[in-house]
């Protein structure tokens, strides 16, 4: 399981991106520093294609580290505001969570959904259709980057569904800069493309956000 994130860490990681090996100014470990708007500009623009998509092609909520807790439970444990009790089979009781999409607190694990920042269908449309089943599984259970998966209210997750920022943005306007940065992060981390409307929406959101330098590293 990943180490728990503090509130300060949640704020700081929103300014970190993972990017392609072709980016410039590479530092130790392949990390690259560049402004978020440059990271967006580096994404390849391409029309989307959902032909052949099935959610089952992304096996998810696995127990990758064999500790008895699924990916869903790992994210819930990490993101809990008040830590829940972990029972047999990693059943979680008690605890509270904060849903940044709609600025709402949740008082049970069952009230939370684990959202893929870039939805599975959107990933398929943007290049994952050409991946192996194993890579799609890795994407769907990406606990190595804390922006890939996020605990949110079921209501906000179902409102978002498989939409991109051109048609859906978090109701909590104060979270939209972080949302756009994290969206670009995941797309860059996994070398996914963006479509023209999606890029226009992201440019518009980020134009009102700090263009701070970000750290970039690709997914293995």
pLDDT at 20: 34
Whether 191 is covered by a domain: the verdict is: yes
What CA–CA distances, in Å, run from 50 to 21, 125, 129, 150?
27, 5, 8, 24
pLDDT at 217: 77
User: Which residue numbers in the chain have pLDDT < 50?
Assistant: 1-28
Whether 1 is covered by a domain: the verdict is: no
| pTM across the whole model | 0.86
- Report the C-alpha gap between 126 and 116 in whole angstroms: 14
Total domains present in the chain: 1
pLDDT at 32: 62
Q: Is 104 exposed, middle or buried (0-12, 13-18, 19+ CB in 10 A)?
A: middle
- Report the C-alpha gap between 120 and 126 in whole angstroms: 10
Containing structural domain, residue 201 = 7-216
- Report the C-alpha gap between 63 and 70 in whole angstroms: 4
pLDDT at 122: 98
Whether 112 is covered by a domain: the verdict is: yes
pLDDT at 2: 46
pLDDT at 5: 44
Whether 123 is covered by a domain: the verdict is: yes
């Amino acid at each position: 399981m990943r180490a728990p994130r503090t509130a300060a860490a949640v704020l700081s990681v929103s300014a970190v991106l993972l990017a392609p090996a072709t980016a410039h100014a590479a530092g130790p470990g392949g990390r690259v520093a560049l402004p978020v708007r440059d990271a967006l500009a580096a994404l390849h623009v391409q029309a989307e294609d959902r032909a052949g998509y099935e959610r089952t092609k992304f096996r998810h909520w696995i127990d990758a580290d064999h500790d008895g807790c699924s990916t869903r439970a790992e994210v819930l444990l990490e993101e809990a505001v008040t830590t829940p009790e972990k029972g047999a089979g990693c059943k979680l009781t008690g605890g509270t969570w904060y849903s940044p999409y709609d600025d709402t607190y949740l008082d049970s694990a069952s009230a939370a959904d684990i959202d893929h920042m870039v939805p599975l269908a959107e990933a398929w449309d943007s290049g994952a259709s050409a991946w192996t089943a194993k890579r799609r599984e890795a994407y769907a259970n990406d606990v190595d980057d804390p922006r890939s998966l996020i605990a949110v209210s079921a209501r906000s997750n179902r409102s978002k569904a498989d939409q991109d920022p051109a048609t859906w943005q978090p109701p909590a306007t104060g979270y939209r800069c972080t949302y756009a940065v994290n969206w670009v992060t995941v797309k860059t981390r996994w070398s996914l493309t963006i479509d023209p409307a999606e890029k226009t929406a992201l440019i518009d959101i980020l134009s009102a956000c700090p263009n701070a330098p970000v750290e970039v590293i690709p997914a293995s």
